[in-house]
Amino acid sequence: MTPAFEEAAFSASPGEIVGPFRSPFGLHILELTDRDSREVKLAYITMRIDVSPQTRNDLYERAADFAFNARQSDFSSEAGQMGFTLQETSIQEEGGVIPGIGVIQSVSRWAFTNSAGEISEPFTVPGGYAVFAITEENPAGVRPFTEVKESVRPLAMSEARIDRTVEIAQGVRDQLQPGESLSKVSELNPAIDVRSAESFTLAGSVPGVGRDQSFVGTVAGLEPGQISGPVRSTRGAYLIELLSRSPLDSTAYVAQKESLRGRILQDKRNQVLTAWLEGLRQDADIEDHRDLFYR
């Protein structure tokens, strides 16, 4: 519980209604129905169960038998007879995430080097072994709109809502007269939430906003007393009024200058190293066949 909620709960008497009071999650009205002063002590033992080599071998042999029989008959019917669970998934790109399994390079490589109808040998996956069958393959390119319509609908609706929010913010901004503060916005449109943020630094997180680069970039260009135009973000739009700006603390800068210099230098070294390694990967001509030996 947050401190505000905890204080209200433990200061009330049974049957008492407390509130409204504010917490970081909003406004609350609390009714205390009962209080119990008992304490409970728990004791438990956690024991890890490791699979023995014999059990692991038996599981692999069973999976291998299934793969062999599935090639002779039918993948689905054979799975039903052996009591295995069928799970259908898709791989969008080689080396990508396999939904429900994760990133397994050997499985991905096998899938993209074989054709529909192929059945694999057992692969090691989290939790045991898996046998894969390629049921369908689609050529690379742009997927038909009918296939992606439902997946892009939420994004399109979100973009439309943000567009509308920007329009509303611009309309309110146009109604503000020179010299008026953002506090006037509540009178122009009660649905708009006007907040006074706590002090923050441009390099840190903005209270109530987070690390929004559009927000921070706009603040950096404002002068005290100036109100911005609509600032588009992933959650909507902002109108920002800069109330004040503290001058540079030269004493603190001098004290931290060397540590800041070392941090920036280390960041640059990491960037150079990452770029160098990426260049090596792109220029290297390596064929990885580990999946043929480690399953």
Rounded to the nearest 10°, the torsion over CA 197, 200, 206, 207 is -50
Question: Tokens standing for 75?
Answer: 């993948």
Q: Which helix (H) or strand (E) holds 133?
A: none
Tokens representing 271 are 């960037």
| Comparison of pLDDT for 288 and 227, the residue scoring more | 227
pLDDT score recorded for residue 41: 81
The three-state secondary structure class of 172 is helix
What are the structure tokens assigned to 30, written together?
Answer: 């609390």
pLDDT of residue 182: 86
Q: What is the pLDDT of residues 84-104, one digit of tens each?
A: 888 888 887 777 788 888 888
Q: pLDDT, tens digit, for every residue of 241-287? A: 998 888 877 887 888 888 889 989 999 999 999 999 888 888 888 77
Where exactly are the structural domains of the chain? 1-44, 53-130, 145-238, 250-280
Give the pLDDT score at 291.
64
Predicted local distance difference test score (pLDDT) of residue 273: 92
Q: Quick one: tokens of 269? A: 């070294």
Beta strands in the chain (DSSP E): 17-23, 26-31, 123-125, 128-130, 231-232, 237-238
The verdict on pTM exceeding 0.85 is no
Q: Do residues 15 and 33 touch, judged by C-beta distance below 8 A?
A: yes
Q: Give backbone dihedrals phi and psi of 18, rounded to 5 degrees, phi first.
A: -115, 140
Cβ 218 vs Cβ 240: under 8 Å: yes
Cis peptide before 99 (omega within 30 of 0): no
